Amino acid sequence: MRRPHAPPLRGSLPPEGADPAWGGPAPDHRAPSTLADHEQQARELLDPAAWAYLCGGAADEITLRANQQAWQDLRLRPRVLQPLAGGHTRLDLLGRTLAHPILVAPMAYQRLAHPQGERASALAAAVLGAGYVLSTQASVLLEDVAPLVLGEPARGPLWFQLYLQTEREHTVALVRRAEAAGFEALVLTVDAPVQGPRDRERRSGFVLPPGIAAVNLPPPHPGAGARGSLFDTLLRTSPTWDDLAWLRSQTDLPILLKGITHPDDARLGIEHGAAGLIVSNHGGRTLDTMTATAALLPEVVAVANSKVPVLVDGGIRRGTDVFKALALGATAVMLGRPVLHGLATGGANGVAHVLRLLIDELEIAMALCGCRSPEQIAERHLHA
Ligand SMILES: Cc1cc2nc3c(=O)[nH]c(=O)nc-3n(C[C@H](O)[C@H](O)[C@H](O)COP(=O)(O)O)c2cc1C
C-alpha cells in the first residue's frame, strides 16, 4: 500500500525551478535513471510494512544480498571492432520469438504496490515485449489480466505460475481457468512447500490489508487442529515428483519448473517432461544461506545441455546482469522486485520504464562486448 500521505509521483509534477537563462526547465534530478533509483523512490512511497513484505527476504537475508552481489562480482571481457550493424536482442523460447530475453517473474499481491496491481505490470510487460508470469497468488483475477496481454501485438509469452493446491480438484480448476483465459504455459514453483521465515516482514507487523487477497484461490479453510510438527500438518500433502507426472496428465500446456538449483533435480525435471527449468531461490525469500543463482546456473545449464531452455532469476538489476546470465548459458531472465518498484513509482508507466531501462542497458552491454545478438553472448565474454 502506498503511504496515506505519499507525495505525487515525480514525473507528474509541473517543472519546478525553470530557468529561462538556460532555455528550459532545470532537469529533474529525482527522475529515476536506474532500477536502483526506482527502488529508492518506491521505498519512500510505500508503507513500511508493505515494503517489508514486498522487498524483504528470509531470515538474515544472506541469499537476498548474495543474489545481487554474485552478478556484480562477475567481470565482463569485451571484444572490440566486431560488426554490430543489424544487431538485435531477439531470441526463440518455447516456439515463440521474443523481442528480448526479459520476463516478469510471478509475484503475489501486486496491488500492495499499486491499486492496479497485476493489471498494470502485465500491460507494461506486454507493451515492452517482455514475457509475463502471473502468480497463483495474484491480487487480480487471471481472467482480467490475460486479455490485457493477449491484445497487445508486441507482447511476449503469457504464463501462469502454479502452486499445487492441497486438493487436486482446486489445482485442476486453476489450470482449466488458465487454459481458457489463454495462458500459454504453466510455471510450477517447486521451491516453496512452506514459506521461509521472513523475519523482516514479521517484525514490521505486516498483514494483508482489507481488499487485497489471492482472488484466484478459494477462500482459505483453516486446518482443524493444525498443531504439531510441520511435517504432520502442512506438509502432509506437499508435492512430489509424482504430482508433476499427474499434472502433465491433466494439461497439454508446457510446464516449466521454477526453483531448480541442484543438477540432480534438473535431471529429474527433464526426465519428468519439464519444458523448461528456472534457476531460482525465490529471490532469497525461502531458504536463507542458499547460494546465489548466478553461481547455481552453470551446473543446471550443463545438465539441460540445450534439451530444454534454462531461465534464471534473483538479483538482476542491470543490463550487464542480463548479459552475464546469458553468458552463463541462460536463455532468458526473470525480473522480480524491480517490477514492484516500478509499480510503486508509476503504475504501468513505472514498470514500463523499469523494463525500458533494463532493455537499453542490455543493448549497450551487448554492443560494448561486441555481440550482435543474444546467440553471440557466451562464456568467453566473462573474465575467469
Ligand atoms: C513480493 C514477492 C512475491 C513473490 N511471490 C511469488 C509467487 O507467488 N510465486 C513464485 O513462484 N515466486 C514468487 N516470488 C519470487 C519471484 O518470482 C522471483 O523468483 C524473485 O523475486 C526473483 O528475485 P528478484 O526479486 O531479486 O528479482 C515473489 C517475490 C516477491 C519479491
Q: How far apart are CA 204 and CA 224, in angstroms?
A: 28
Which CA distances in Å does 329 have to 31, 35, 224, 267, 295? 34, 24, 47, 16, 12
- First-last CA distance in the chain: 44
- In this structure, the residue with its CA closest to atom 6 of ligand 1 is 107
Q: How far apart are CA 178 and CA 360, in angstroms?
A: 32
CA nearest neighbour of 35 among 360, 376, 365, 375: 360
Could you give phi then psi for residue 8, rounded to 5 degrees? -60, 155
CA of 337 to the centre of ligand 1 (A): 7
Contact 178, 142 (CB under 8 A): yes
Does the CB atom of residue 137 touch ligand 1 within 6 A? yes
Mutate to test the pocket of ligand 1, among 201, 279, 285 (most ligand atoms within 8 A of CB): 285
Which residue bears the cell 529515476? 32
Reduced to 3 states (helix: H, G, I; strand: E, B; else coil), residue 160 is strand
CA of 215 to the centre of ligand 1 (A): 18
Q: Which residues are CB-contacts of 142 (< 8 A; sequence separation ≥ 6)?
A: 134, 160, 177, 178, 181, 183, 216
pLDDT at 11: 36
pLDDT in single tens digits along all 384 residues of the chain:
666 544 434 333 334 444 444 455 555 667 899 999 999 999 999 999 999 999 999 999 999 999 999 999 999 999 999 999 999 999 999 999 999 999 999 999 999 999 999 999 999 999 999 999 999 999 999 999 999 999 999 999 999 999 999 999 999 999 999 999 999 999 999 999 898 999 999 999 999 999 999 999 998 744 444 456 766 655 666 889 999 999 999 999 999 999 999 999 999 999 999 999 999 999 999 999 999 999 999 999 999 999 999 999 999 999 999 999 999 999 999 999 999 999 999 999 999 999 999 999 999 999 999 999 999 999 999 998
Does the CB atom of residue 102 touch ligand 1 within 6 A? no
